[in-house]
Amino acid sequence: MTSPEVRSELVEALKLDLVGPDNDHAFAHELLPDAPSRWYLSGFLVPSEAPADQKTDETSSEEIDSGGNTGGTDDDTEPDRAAARKSILPSSMGLSVLVAPGVETLNAAVAWGDYIYEGAENEPAISAPTPEPHPAAPDTLEETPGDYKAGSGAPPKPLKGYRRHPKEESVSIALPAPGGKPNQFPVPNSGGLTLSVTVRAVPAAGHASTRLPAGARSVSVFLVNHRPPNKERGYRAFAFQTCLKLISPQPFTPRPDLRGTLSGAATEEWDEQVADLQFRDVFEYAVGHGVSATAEHEPGGACCVVKTTWIPTAEVEKVSPAPSRPHQEHRSRCPHPLRTLCPAPQ
């Protein structure tokens, strides 16, 4: 197995452990032995009207103990601890893009997973979502749901657990006029998931953020969980492994780089000029809100599809020093303060 393949396997294992499987993954119909709100640490949206015990992460209030006193100084006394602040779990996430003039409609693909308890009549009680470390989900729950002890002679017994049901819906978004209130687009067959869309006008050409075509607009699309909360078993109203994809009939407009020469501002810094040259073909097509964003490029380089990702990744090219010549090596070892005055070896 090559190094890139090993890295890909590690990233995939991390994603399955923290977020869970996508709808096209082999474990899309996984069966968990514990509630998904306790099994996964990220990637889910809680209802916006959920009670406080479901919207807060209890583990975030834990504090690290100090290292103790060092003895003999006025600094022996430990400072007062700041009040613990609980982290609020997200109820929405979204994307912002720049659309070209003439684009009046975007197509949104919303994917998520719902979990339903199966295998017994009475579901065990579930407390507030306090994620804890856990071992990897056993594959046998998915591959052999009727497994039983070999040689026991007992008939197969269905396993008890929380079964994942993949969901995906498409929504056609008619872009409202710039500057108005957010428009709401319900996601079909979702039980309360909604897309909130806002459109803003972009400064005209000649502004600091130049190189944008006249009439371009900034569009922000948020996926919001407006499901009715379930007070006893909150996970039933959660949306897990959420993903929002935006598709445009015309390529998205890349965001301008406000640094250096790409924004029209002259710079004399050699490093910035080299960076502008090296990354002249690298553009940003989307910005994530509460989540990261990734773009899908067509063979010609245009981008018509952007989507969210909870585990962002990026490949960094290897940097190796250029081989040095004997004269350069001699100058680097020369103790003279003016290295250029040292003669090169004959």
* Stronger pLDDT, 285 or 63, i.e. the higher one: 285
93-132 residue pLDDT tens? 999 999 998 899 999 999 999 999 987 667 776 654 444 4
For residue 243, pLDDT over 90 is answered with: yes
Sorted by sequence, the CB contacts under 8 Å of residue 66 that are 6+ apart come out as 78
Considering only CA atoms, which of 344, 209, 320, 207 is closest in space to residue 263? 209
**248 C-beta neighbours (distance < 10 Å), count:** 21
Of all residues in the chain, the percent with pLDDT exceeding 90 is: 47
Residue 202: per-residue pLDDT: 84
**Which of 53-57, 88-92, 189-193, 245-249 shows the lowest per-residue confidence on average (mean pLDDT)?**
53-57
Q: In this predicted model, what pLDDT tens digit does every residue of 127-155 receive, in sequence order?
A: 544 444 454 444 434 443 333 334 445 65
| Residues linked to residue 170 through DSSP beta bridges, in sequence order | 109
Per-residue model confidence (pLDDT) at position 260: 47
Token digits for 42?
A: 């990220």
pTM comes to 0.76
Higher local confidence (pLDDT), 209 or 254: 254
Residue 160 has pLDDT above 80, yes or no: yes
- Residue 3: band (very low, low, confident or very high) from pLDDT cuts 50, 70, 90: confident
Nearest to 161 by CA among 180, 149, 147: 147
Could you tell me the CA-to-CA distances from 38 to 13, 161, 210, 241 in Å, in that order? 18, 13, 47, 14
Cα dihedral across residues 193, 289, 23, 33: positive or negative? negative
The overall average pLDDT reported for the chain is 79
Q: Answer whether residue 339 shows pLDDT above 80.
A: no
> At residue 190, does pLDDT exceed 90?
yes
Q: Which amino acid is at 300?
A: G
Average pLDDT over residues 63-72: 50
Mean pLDDT of 277-287: 84
Closest of 102, 101, 12, 46 to residue 228, by C-alpha:
46
Contact between residue 241 and residue 115 where contact means Cβ atoms under 8 Å apart = no
pLDDT one-digit tens code per residue, 295-320: 999 888 899 999 999 999 888 878 88
Q: Are 334 and 340 in contact (CB under 8 A)?
A: no
Cα–Cα distance for residue pair 219/212, rounded to 1 Å? 14
